[in-house]
C-alpha cells in the first residue's frame, strides 16, 4: 500500500521553478531516500509534504486521502535540516510542548517523552536548557521530538549530521525499528553511503525535476557498466583481449575490467581459464550511488539560481 | 483542536516569560523603586520644612527691623560688621547663609545679596524675597501715606474654580492634576507599546534564526504561531501591569509605618484640613474629581488595541529579520515613527485637547492609543470616542491580515533581506 503519493507537484517561486512536475509513490513501511544536490528543490518538496507550503498545482495523497495539512499534521514528524529548538527552554518541557502541538494530550506527551528519554539515556537532561547541550545531544533531542507522537510518516533531513558514530548508530537502529513497526521514513541526505546502507527506494531530483526513481539495487543495475574484478592467487600476466574486455585498472594479483556488452561473463572466465590463470575471485562491480549521483548531476547545477521563469 | 494549539502557544509564550527571573525582578523592582522615590521625596520635603536654615542678616537699611521679632527666630541680626568684613566669618560662626541689605532708595530697591556656601535652594530664595517684598511694600505704603489696614481691604487674592459641566452635572476640575494624569497615561502606553512590541519582534526573530519556526509551522498554521506569540506576550504585559498596581497600592498602605508625619498631613488634607497641608488637599480633591473609572477602562482598551496593532507590525518585521542586525534596525524605523509622532501629538493635546491636531491624533489609529490617553481627562465627545475605538479595532484586524501574510512567507525565508516591493508581492499573491 502506498502511504504517500505525489502527483505532478509544482511550486514556482519568483526566481525559479523550485519543484517542477514531480510525481512518485512511497510504500508504507519503507525507508525512502530523497536525494539531490543543493538547491535541487528537496526542501521545497518536503515543505509541501509537511503542509508548510501549498503546491501551486498537483496533488498529495496521504494515507489514501487527499492531504489536509491541518488534519494530517499528527501523522507526520518532520526534522528539518537546520535544527530548530528553543534555546532557553527546558528540554523536558520543550519535548512535551512540541508533542502537544502535534495533538498529544499532556499526560500522553509526558509519558512518551519519559519513555524516549530513558531509551536514549537522556533522563538527566530534563531540566537542562538546549543552550547547554552539545550539537550531537541537541540532535538526539530533535530526533526524539520528531518521532515522539508516533507519526505514520517521518521525514528526516540530514539526521546524522553532527553525530558521532555511536550516536549515529543509535539513531540508525531506531530508524530501522520504526520502519519495521510500520512507520514510513523519508530520508533526505547528500551522504550516499548512508543511503545505500539504509534506504530501500530512492528518488533523485535535480533542478526541480525527478531524474531517477527506483529501488537501490534496480538503480545500480540500471547504471552498471559491466565492470568486473578478477583476482588470482598468483601474479596475473599482462594479457589483453580487446574483443572481450578492456582493462582499466591492473594490480599484481588483481585487475578491473570492463566487459564488452555483447560478451557473456562465462566467455571471459573461460578465457582466463584457458590462459591457465588460477582465478579465485570474479565479481561484478556495481556502481556506487555516489558515482551515479555525480554522473547525473555534475555540471548541471551552476546556472540554476536566478533563472527566471519565462 | 486548532484553538487548543493557539492556546498552547499562548501558554508557552506566557509561562516562559513569566517564569524568568528577569520578569520577577523588573516586576517587583519597578514599583519598589517608584515607591522608594516617592518616599524619598516626601522624606526630603518633611526634613526640609523642619530643619531651619540659620541666616545672618546685616540690615543697613533697617528694613526688617520692625518685623523681625515676630517673623523669624532663624534670622539673627549682626551689628557692627560690614558686608566685606562679615562675608569671611559667617560660615565659621555657624550660619548657613548671610543676607546683606544695603541702604537703598525706596523707589528703586536693589542690590540685596544672599551669601551661601553652596547655591541656595529655591524655597529659601522665595521665602527671603517674599519677606523683603513685604517689608518694602509696607515702607512704600507709609511713604505714600496709605493706611495699611485700608490697603489690605483693597488687596485682592481670588481663586478661580474651574467647573466642568456635563449632562451628569457639574464637578470641580484641577487643571494641573488632569494634566499630569493624562501625561502619565499616554506615556505609559507609549512605553509599553515599544517594550512589548520589541519583545514580540525579538521572539519572532529568535524563532526564525533558531529555525524552530519550521518545526512548529509543520504542526500549526503560521498565523496561529504569530497570534499565539502576540497574545502571550500581551498577557505578560497585562500581568506585569496588574502586579504593579497591586504592589503600589500595598506599598502605599505601608507608607504610614515609615512616614507617620506625611500621612498625618495627607489625612488632614483629605478631610479638609488647613494650613501647610492644603496642597495635599488640592491633590486629593483633584484626583477624586477625575473620571477614574473611565480613565481605567480607556487605558485598558487603548493599551490592548495599540499593543495588538503594533505587535503585529513588529512581528512582521521580526519575520523579515536576517542575521544582519542593521537590516532589522532599518525595518523598525517606519514602525517607531508613528509611535513617536503619537507621543509628540499627545504632549500638544494635553495643553489643547480640543485642537484639530489633538482630535486628528486621537482618531487616527496609529496614534490614537497614545493621543487619546492625553485627552482622556478632559471630556471627549462621544462620537470621537466611538470613531477612535472603531478605527483602532478595524486597523488591528487589517494589520493582522496584512502582517500575517508577510509573516507566513518571511519566517521561512533565509538569506537576503526582502525589499518593500517583494513584501508587497507576498501580500498580494499570498
Chain A contact set for B410 (CB, 8 A): none
Indicate the domain borders of chain A: 2-221, 225-285
- pLDDT of the residue at A252: 82
Architecture per CATH, A225-285: 2-Layer Sandwich (3.30)
- pLDDT of the residue at B262: 54
DSSP A287: P
CB contact under 8 A, B412 and A52: yes
CB contact under 8 A, A88 and B16: yes
Q: Take residue A232 and report the three cell numbers written for it.
A: 588470482
- pLDDT of the residue at B430: 55
CB of B234 within 8 A of CB of B308? yes
Residue B80 — very low, low, confident or very high, per pLDDT cuts 50/70/90?
A: confident
Pick from B210, B216, B412: which is nearest to A101 by CB? B216
Phi, psi of B315 (to 5 degrees): -65, -40
CB contact under 8 A, A52 and B8: no
Check if B12 contacts A (Cβ < 8 Å): yes
Residue B87: helix, strand or coil by DSSP? coil
Residues 193-222 of B with CB under 8 A from A: 206-207, 210-221
Q: What are the strands of the beta sheet with A2-12, ordered from one edge?
A: A17-27, A2-12, A57-62, A65-66
A2-221 matches A225-285 in fold: no
Chain A contact set for B205 (CB, 8 A): none
Residue B274: helix, strand or coil by DSSP? coil
Beta-bridge mates of residue A186: A32, A155
- pLDDT of the residue at B174: 58
CB of A117 within 8 A of CB of A174? no
Chain B contact set for A47 (CB, 8 A): 214, 412
Residue A147 CA from chain centroid, whole number: 17
Q: Take residue A139 and report the three cell numbers written for it.
A: 540532535
Pick from B16, B206, B218: which is nearest to A78 by CB? B218
Which carries the bigger pLDDT value, residue A238 or residue B383? Answer: B383
Closest by CA to B311, choosing from B222, B409, B387, B204, is: B204
Pick from A14, A89, A100: which is nearest to B16 by CB? A89
Chain A contact set for B5 (CB, 8 A): 101
- pLDDT of the residue at B277: 45
Which carries the bigger pLDDT value, residue B307 or residue A304? Answer: B307
Q: Could you tell me which residues come within 8 angstroms of residue A283 by beta carbon, excluding any fewer than 6 positions away?
A: A228, A229
Distance CA B187, CA A107 (A): 45
Check if B425 contacts A (Cβ < 8 Å): yes
Q: How far is B4 from chain A (nearest CA, A)?
A: 9
Chain B contact set for A51 (CB, 8 A): 218
CB of A32 within 8 A of CB of A186? yes
CB contact under 8 A, B211 and A83: yes
How far, CA to CA in Å, does B408 sit from each of A93, B117, B226, B314?
26, 67, 9, 14
DSSP A14: S
> Domain A2-221: what homologous superfamily?
P-loop containing nucleotide triphosphate hydrolases (3.40.50.300)
CB of B358 within 8 A of CB of B371? yes
DSSP A71-129: HHGGGEEEE-SS----TTSBHHHHHHHHHHHTT--HHHHHHHHHHHHHHTT-GGGTTSB
- pLDDT of the residue at B352: 82
Q: Could you tell me which residues come within 8 angstroms of residue A72 by beta carbon, excluding any fewer than 6 positions away?
A: A51, A62, A63
**What digits encode the pLDDT tens for the residues B217-240?**
888 888 999 999 999 999 998 998
**What digits encode the pLDDT tens for the residues B137-177?**
888 888 888 888 888 888 887 777 766 666 555 555 556 67
Q: Which residue has the cell 492644603?
A: B278
Chain A residues touching chain B at CB-CB below 8 Å:
14, 47, 50-52, 70, 73, 76, 78-80, 82-89, 97-98, 100-103, 145
Q: Whole-angstrom distance between the N-terminal and C-terminal Cα of chain B?
A: 25
**What digits encode the pLDDT tens for the residues B106-117?**
888 888 888 887
Beta-bridge mates of residue B114: B99
Count of other CB atoms within 10 angstroms of residue A45: 27
Residue B246: helix, strand or coil by DSSP? helix
Pick from B210, B215, B425: which is nearest to A78 by CB? B215
Q: Is the pLDDT of residue B300 over 80?
A: yes
Residue A89 CA from chain centroid, whole number: 31
Distance CA B132, CA B126 (A): 10
Helix-helix angle B222-258:B382-410, to 10 degrees: 130
DSSP A205-260: EETTEEEEEEEHHHHHHHT---EEEEEESSPPP---BTTTEEEEEE-SSEEEEEE-
CB of B177 within 8 A of CB of B162? no
- pLDDT of the residue at B4: 82
- pLDDT of the residue at A308: 46
Which residue in chain A has the smallest CA separation from B1? A103
Closest by CA to B414, choosing from A22, A81, A49, is: A81
Distance CA B372, CA B365 (A): 10
Residue B274 CA from chain centroid, whole number: 28
Distance CA B98, CA A215 (A): 105
Helix (H) or strand (E) holding B57: strand B55-59
Q: Could you tell me which residues come within 8 angstroms of residue B260 by beta carbon, excluding any fewer than 6 positions away?
A: none
Which carries the bigger pLDDT value, residue B266 or residue B339? Answer: B339
**What digits encode the pLDDT tens for the residues B191-214?**
889 999 999 999 999 888 888 888
What does DSSP say about strands A184-189 and A31-35: parallel, antiparallel, or unpaired? parallel
Closest by CA to A306, choosing from A39, A105, A58, is: A39
CB contact under 8 A, B206 and A87: yes
Q: How far is A69 from chain B (nearest CA, A)?
A: 8
**What digits encode the pLDDT tens for the residues B247-268?**
777 776 776 666 555 555 555 4
Beta-bridge mates of residue B113: B100
Distance CA B69, CA A102 (A): 88
**Burial class of residue B336, CB neighbours in 10 A (0-12, 13-18, 19+):** middle
Check if B1 contacts A (Cβ < 8 Å): yes
Closest by CA to B220, choosing from A63, A103, A90, A46, is: A103
Distance CA A266, CA A169 (A): 41
Question: What domains sit in chain B, N to C, each tagged with a CATH number?
Answer: 53-152 (3.40.190.10), 174-429 (no CATH)
Q: How far is B319 from chain A (nearest CA, A)?
A: 15
Closest by CA to B251, choosing from B47, B26, B42, B39, is: B39
DSSP B247-273: HHHHHHHHHHHH-HHHHHHHHHHHTT-
Optimal mutation site among A14, A74, A86, A144, interface B, most CBs of chain B within 10 A = A86
Q: Is the pLDDT of residue B320 over 90?
A: no
CB of B97 within 8 A of CB of B55? yes
Q: What is the largest CA-CA distance in chain B?
A: 96
CB contact under 8 A, A52 and B2: no
Phi, psi of B101 (to 5 degrees): -115, 105
Q: Take residue B384 and report the three cell numbers written for it.
A: 470621537
Pick from A79, A86, A102: which is nearest to B210 by CB? A86
- pLDDT of the residue at B302: 92
Q: How far is B213 from chain A (nearest CA, A)?
A: 7
Closest by CA to B342, choosing from B383, B305, B291, B315, is: B305
What does DSSP say about strands A65-66 and A57-62: parallel, antiparallel, or unpaired? antiparallel
Q: How far is B234 from chain A (nearest CA, A)?
A: 20
Neighbouring C-alpha atoms within 13 Å toward the C-beta of A29? 5
Distance CA A116, CA A91 (A): 13
Distance CA A26, CA A33 (A): 10
- pLDDT of the residue at B274: 43
Considering only A169-173, B45-49, B193-197, B348-352, which range has the smallest mean pLDDT?
B45-49
Q: How far is B401 from chain A (nearest CA, A)?
A: 18
Distance CA B207, CA B216 (A): 9
Residue B209: helix, strand or coil by DSSP? helix
- Average pLDDT for consecutive 10-residue bins of chain A (310 residues)? 88 82 90 87 87 86 85 86 83 92 90 91 87 85 90 90 86 91 89 86 89 88 86 81 82 86 86 85 87 79 46
Which carries the bigger pLDDT value, residue B276 or residue B100? Answer: B100
Residue A11 CA from chain centroid, whole number: 22
Amino acid at each position: 500500500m502506498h502511504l504517500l503519493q505525489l502527483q505532478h507537484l509544482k511550486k514556482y517561486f519568483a526566481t525559479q521553478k523550485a519543484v517542477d512536475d514531480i510525481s512518485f509513490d512511497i510504500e508504507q513501511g519503507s525507508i525512502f531516500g530523497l536525494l539531490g544536490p543543493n538547491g535541487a528543490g528537496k526542501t521545497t518538496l518536503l515543505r509541501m509534504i509537511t503542509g508548510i507550503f501549498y503546491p501551486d498545482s498537483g496533488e498529495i495523497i496521504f494515507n489514501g486521502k487527499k492531504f489536509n495539512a491541518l488534519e494530517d499534521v499528527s501523522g507526520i514528524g518532520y526534522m528539518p535540516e537546520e535544527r530548530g529548538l528553543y534555546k532557553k527552554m527546558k528540554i523536558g518541557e520543550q519535548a512535551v510542548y512540541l508533542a502537544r502541538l502535534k495533538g498529544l494530550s499532556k499526560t500522553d506527551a509526558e509519558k512518551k517523552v519519559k519513555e524516549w528519554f530513558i531509551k536514549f539515556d537522556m533522563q538527566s537532561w530534563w531540566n537542562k536548557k538546549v543552550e547547554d547541550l552539545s550539537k550531537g545531544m541537541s540532535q538526539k533531542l530533535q530526533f526524539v521530538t520528531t518521532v515522539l507522537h508516533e507519526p505514520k510518516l517521518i521525514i528526516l533531513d540530514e539526521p546524522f549530521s553532527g553525530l558521532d558514530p555511536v550516536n549515529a548508530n543509535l539513531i540508525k537502529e531506531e530508524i530501522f525499528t520504526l520502519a519495521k513497526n510500520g512507520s514510513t521514513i523519508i530520508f533526505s541526505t547528500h551522504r550516499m553511503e548512508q543511503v545505500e546502507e539504509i534506504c530501500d527506494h530512492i528518488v533523485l531530483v535535480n533542478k526541480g525535476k525527478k531524474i531517477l526513481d527506483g529501488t537501490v539495487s534496480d538503480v545500480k543495475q540500471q547504471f552498471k557498466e559491466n565492470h568486473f574484478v578478477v583476482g588470482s592467487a598468483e601474479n596475473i600476466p599482462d594479457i589483453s583481449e580487446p574483443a572481450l574486455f578492456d582493462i582499466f585498472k591492473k594490480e599484481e594479483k588483481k585487475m578491473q575490467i570492463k566487459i564488452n556488452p555483447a560478451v557473456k561473463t562465462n566467455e571471459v572466465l573461460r578465457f582466463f581459464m584457458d590462459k591457465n590463470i588460477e582465478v579465485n575471485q570474479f565479481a561484478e562491480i556495481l556502481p556506487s550511488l555516489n558515482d551515479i549521483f555525480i554522473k547525473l548531476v555534475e555540471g548541471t547545477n551552476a546556472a540554476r539560481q536566478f533563472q527566471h521563469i519565462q | 483542536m486548532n484553538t487548543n494549539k493557539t492556546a498552547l502557544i499562548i501558554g508557552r509564550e506566557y509561562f516562559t516569560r513569566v517564569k524568568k527571573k528577569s520578569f520577577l525582578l523588573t516586576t517587583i523592582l519597578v514599583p519598589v523603586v517608584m515607591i522608594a522615590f516617592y518616599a524619598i521625596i516626601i522624606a526630603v520635603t518633611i526634613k526640609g520644612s523642619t530643619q531651619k536654615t540659620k541666616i545672618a542678616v546685616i540690615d543697613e537699611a533697617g528694613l526688617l527691623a520692625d518685623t523681625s521679632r515676630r517673623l523669624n527666630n532663624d534670622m539673627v541680626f549682626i551689628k557692627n560688621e560690614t558686608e566685606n568684613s562679615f562675608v569671611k566669618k559667617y560660615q565659621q560662626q555657624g550660619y548657613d547663609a548671610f543676607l546683606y541689605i544695603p541702604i537703598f532708595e525706596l523707589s528703586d530697591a536693589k542690590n540685596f545679596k544672599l551669601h551661601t556656601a553652596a547655591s541656595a535652594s529655591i524655597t529659601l530664595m522665595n521665602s527671603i524675597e517674599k519677606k523683603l517684598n513685604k517689608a518694602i511694600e509696607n515702607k512704600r505704603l507709609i511713604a505714600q501715606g496709605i493706611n495699611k489696614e485700608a490697603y489690605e481691604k483693597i488687596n485682592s487674592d481670588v481663586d478661580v474654580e474651574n467647573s466642568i459641566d456635563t449632562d451628569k452635572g457639574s464637578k470641580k476640575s484641577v487643571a494641573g492634576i488632569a494634566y499630569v494624569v493624562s501625561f502619565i497615561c499616554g506615556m505609559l502606553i507609549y512605553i509599553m507599546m515599544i517594550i512589548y512590541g520589541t519583545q514580540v519582534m525579538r521572539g519572532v526573530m529568535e524563532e526564525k534564526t533558531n529555525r524552530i519556526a519550521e518545526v512548529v509551522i509543520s504542526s500549526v498554521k503560521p498565523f496561529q504561531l504569530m497570534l499565539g506569540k502576540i497574545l502571550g506576550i500581551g498577557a505578560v504585559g497585562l500581568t506585569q501591569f496588574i502586579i504593579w498596581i497591586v504592589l503600589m497600592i500595598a506599598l502605599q498602605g505601608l507608607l504610614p509605618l515609615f512616614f507617620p508625619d506625611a500621612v498625618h498631613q495627607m489625612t488632614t488634607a483629605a478631610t479638609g484640613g488647613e494650613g501647610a497641608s492644603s496642597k495635599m488637599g488640592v491633590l486629593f480633591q483633584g484626583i477624586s474629581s477625575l473620571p477614574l473609572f473611565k480613565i481605567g477602562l480607556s487605558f485598558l482598551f487603548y493599551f490592548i488595541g495599540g499593543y495588538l496593532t503594533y505587535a503585529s507590525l513588529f512581528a512582521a518585521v521580526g519575520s523579515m529579520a536576517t542575521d544582519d542586525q542593521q537590516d532589522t534596525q532599518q525595518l523598525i524605523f517606519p514602525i517607531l515613527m508613528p509611535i513617536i509622532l503619537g507621543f509628540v501629538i499627545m504632549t500638544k493635546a494635553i495643553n489643547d485637547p480640543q485642537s484639530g491636531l489633538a482630535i486628528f491624533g486621537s482618531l487616527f489609529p496609529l496614534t490614537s492609543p497614545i493621543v487619546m490617553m492625553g485627552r482622556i481627562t478632559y471630556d471627549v465627545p462621544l462620537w470621537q470616542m466611538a470613531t477612535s475605538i472603531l478605527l483602532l479595532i478595524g486597523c488591528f484586524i487589517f494589520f493582522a491580515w496584512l502582517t500575517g501574510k508577510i509573516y507566513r512567507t518571511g519566517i521561512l525565508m533565509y538569506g537576503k533581506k526582502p525589499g518593500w516591493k517583494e513584501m508587497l508581492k507576498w501580500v498580494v499573491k499570498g
